[in-house]
Amino acid sequence: MADTPEEIQKHLKLYWKVGYALLFCTVLTVGVTYIPVIGDNIWLGLGIASFKASLVAVIFMHLGTEKPLILKVLVYTVFFAIGMVFLTLLALYDPIISPYNR
């Protein structure tokens, strides 16, 4: 980021705006749980959480303007983390069946 006082003030305003957006999204996450049908949708809750997480990552953690090396490291990390989740979930479809419960 540029280090001139004007630029910094601009960033300061942006951070507060993002902060308010995050607070609003938190209220929204809790609010939707009170709406019948929609509230039970776990993907909606996770969707809002993912949006909040991306705001934090892109704006607060400066990933939007980060250098390519960092982004490469993170791409690999996210790839392996997702892979790990799916590998674990595969176990659900390949359960160990006890010979006593057949």
Partner 1 sequence: MEIPFTVKPRPDTGLWNAKVGIWLFLASEVMLFGGLFSGYLFLRLGAGGEPDYFWPKDILSVPFGFVNTLILILSSVFVVVAWLQLKLRQFRKFQLWMYVVVACAFIFLINKGFEYRSKFIHYGIKLSDNSIVEGYKLDDTIIYEGIKDVTIDVARFNGQFLELIQWNIPKFFLLGSDGKPQGEAFDLSVDKVQEIEAKKNAKLKEKHEKSNQNKLAENSEADVIRWLPAMGIKQLSLVAEKEFSIKIKRKKLRKSFTDSVKFKDQTLLKGTISKLTPGVSIALVDRIDLRATDSENPELTSLVWKYLGNDSPLKDYSAKSETIKEGDQAEINFNKDYNKSADISDEHDPKAEAAKAKAIFLGAREEVLTIAKEKGKEAEFDKVLRHLVKKWESKDGTKKESHSPILVPWDEVKLYSNFTPKWNTFYAVYFTLTGLHGLHVFLGAIVLLWFALFGKKLYDKDPEHLANRVEVGGLFWHFVDLVWIFLFPILYLM
Interacting residue ranges for partner 1, rule: CB under 8 A:
3, 5, 8, 11-12, 15-16, 18-19, 22-23, 26, 29-30, 33, 42, 45-46, 48-49, 52-53, 56-57, 60-61, 67, 69-70, 73-74, 76-78, 80-81, 84-85, 88-89, 91-92
Nearest approach, Cβ of residue 29 and partner 1 (Å):
6
Nearest approach, Cβ of residue 75 and partner 1 (Å):
10
Find how far residue 61's CA is from the centre of its chain.
13
Instruction: Assess contact for 25 and 51: CB atoms under 8 A.
Output: yes
Nearest approach, Cβ of residue 43 and partner 1 (Å):
10
